[in-house]
Structure 1
């Protein structure tokens, strides 16, 4: 038994070593200015890092993480073509009831898994800026779990520092990121669909996407500008001022609706006979997608409607209440 436990321990440490090396390689590649294939490399390597991490955890808990079929009292293990055991992939590890990863961190990883499936089938361009917040959350979650599940000394934070940037973020740059203007259609559709299915509290959680508000800072004394990032208390006057300014900026982002959402809102107002085809006829008749009308926006291959268009639909239905089943 002691010999078996030593074997389990040595394999676990080998898995953890490979896991840490994979995550460090993922971050180093993403921060390397000479490499163009950043996001794709990060996704693959971080996927491997998390897989090995969970394999090490399951091994330490005596959870069988190999695929097998139960045949009577015996287990028939699935094998590769070369005869090796087939171990659980990351998604199977996350779905197991004994998985120690919290729900929001799982959502972050399942987003990256789905994205990996997409980039396997089509070459991508310039997705780094769009997805870096998800990657940052993935790194922080990994560092937290490897220390929590195993040992503080295994953390990778001591090996890494903030990467330096040669570009600043302006409002027009942020708008371009929000609109997914130059992403391949399959990638932008996947991102929109995945985010839409998430509860709002999960979407806003830092474990899913680590968003930071950067504000250029002028200083009055030497030494104040020695650090690129400075953390301030949430209840301080400086933070309160930033929060007020951030809310003003955030409010500039217009609410967007899919056609089905427009119809649901109208139905909830009592116009129960108003259907999607009525909506289609209405926007075509009013040429609502023409430039300059400001009724909506094209994001990749999907059209989203603004509140300005919702008001037009409400007025149309009010003028035709009997047609759409509204009792007057």
Structure 2
């Protein structure tokens, strides 16, 4: 047998309001409907009847009744937020929605700047509400409230270090907006901004309840043309001003490699192009830390991408390794290297395409292998180690 939840009780403040509404000839069911807006434990009609029959309760002034009605009418039935009680959270959500809408708008060019400013406002309101409810004084004697940069450095900051690093990066971008033109910096900071959106939605849900989620608003932007695979590869090759490149480098220089790889700091996806018909072709997003993500290097690349990412033929790779290492590095040494470090299979192998995609790929159309910059750097570093140096029989 399912037990009904116990009905709520009227507060001492509400009883005079009910009395006043009865005096205005409101029906019991209308008063009950008003009282139950935003209420978890609802009031039943018996509570109203009790007030009606209690001659010791006096009606409250009209202005108090009007304020009570206005406050009750301000509840959002979706989020449960009230304009009078939850103003910071309402503003926080709206600021982040504005940040996303402005960034996704096809008609606006002021994207990175808008997002940096609006998201800072969103995070500030959200954390002010959290610390205020935790009993922290958020407004000092000078009338200034806690800065966002101060809140993320507090010992009682409620979110992960990666979230704090992401917020700090967006703060610095916001500060730079006041003094520098960003031009085409939108793509440069997209991964930071996407992480900020995801962090914000997770934070507001964890701290204040799942009803406040922005998942329906924080979606990917649509466009009227198909995204070519080469476009996805070239997103980071925009003409970015030097001062923006410098800012991006400055942000990364402050963090360790582990902090920079934190998905809470900077959002990353792996684009997997499935082999399928044109009518069904699509991008599949794979988490980089999943088993599938870790195996992504084993997926054959389209030649247009391969030409860009694996540009060096064996002879070119040999020459670059010799130049950068200062050693006599021959084509024979290069063959020794790819065998030793298993960059590619032997020429007699049946599965010639089973290379280590981190360094090398096989071109089926013309039957040869090419290498990337990572391979050059890897071999140069390896042959500087004495035992590796000896195994390849190199000459200084």
**TM-score (structure 2 length as normaliser):** 0.51
Q: How has the CA–CA distance of structure 1 residues 100 and 216 changed in structure 2, closer, same or farther, with 3 Å as cutoff?
A: same
Q: How has the CA–CA distance of structure 1 residues 163 and 10 changed in structure 2, closer, same or farther, with 3 Å as cutoff?
A: closer
How big is each residue's C-alpha offset from its partner over 1:47-70, in whole Å with a ceiling of 9 and x where there is no partner? 000000000001110111112xxx
Asked whether 1:92 is paired with 2:150, we answer: yes
Structure 2 gap segments, 5+ residues each: 1-11, 14-81, 313-375, 385-396
Structure-2 separation of matches of 1:91 and 1:243: 39
SS at match of 1:129: coil
Structure-2 separation of matches of 1:94 and 1:57: 12
Asked whether 1:168 is paired with 2:168, we answer: no
**1:1-328 equivalent positions in 2, closer than 5 A:** 13-67=86-140, 77-78=141-142, 85-165=143-223, 166=225, 167-170=227-230, 174=234, 177=236, 182-219=239-276, 229=284, 234-235=290-291, 241-245=295-299
Structure with the larger RCO, 1 or 2 (CA within 8 Å, 6+ apart) = 1
Q: How has the CA–CA distance of structure 1 residues 231 and 211 changed in structure 2, closer, same or farther, with 3 Å as cutoff?
A: closer
**TM-score (structure 1 length as normaliser):** 0.61
Post-superposition offset of 1:184:
2.7
Post-superposition offset of 1:221:
12
Post-superposition offset of 1:109:
0.8
The CA RMSD over aligned residues, in Å, is: 3.9
SS at match of 1:214: strand
**Conservation of the 8 A alpha-carbon contact between 2:201 and 2:214:** yes
Structure-2 separation of matches of 1:43 and 1:12: 27
Structure 1 gap segments, 5+ residues each: 4-8, 68-76, 79-84, 255-305, 315-328
**Conservation of the 8 A alpha-carbon contact between 1:147 and 1:155:** yes
Compare CA radii of gyration and give the structure with the larger one: 2
Structure-2 separation of matches of 1:240 and 1:195: 24
**Conservation of the 8 A alpha-carbon contact between 1:58 and 1:65:** yes
**Conservation of the 8 A alpha-carbon contact between 1:19 and 1:49:** yes
Structure-2 separation of matches of 1:115 and 1:45: 12
Post-superposition offset of 1:36:
0.6
Post-superposition offset of 1:118:
1.3
Structure-1 separation of matches of 2:156 and 2:300: 40
Structure-2 separation of matches of 1:151 and 1:25: 21
Q: How has the CA–CA distance of structure 1 residues 137 and 230 changed in structure 2, closer, same or farther, with 3 Å as cutoff?
A: closer
Post-superposition offset of 1:240:
6.1
Structure-2 separation of matches of 1:253 and 1:13: 57
**Conservation of the 8 A alpha-carbon contact between 1:12 and 1:59:** no
**Conservation of the 8 A alpha-carbon contact between 1:104 and 1:202:** yes
Structure-2 separation of matches of 1:160 and 1:113: 20
SS at match of 1:97: coil
SS at match of 2:273: coil
**Conservation of the 8 A alpha-carbon contact between 1:115 and 1:187:** no
Q: How has the CA–CA distance of structure 1 residues 12 and 201 changed in structure 2, closer, same or farther, with 3 Å as cutoff?
A: farther
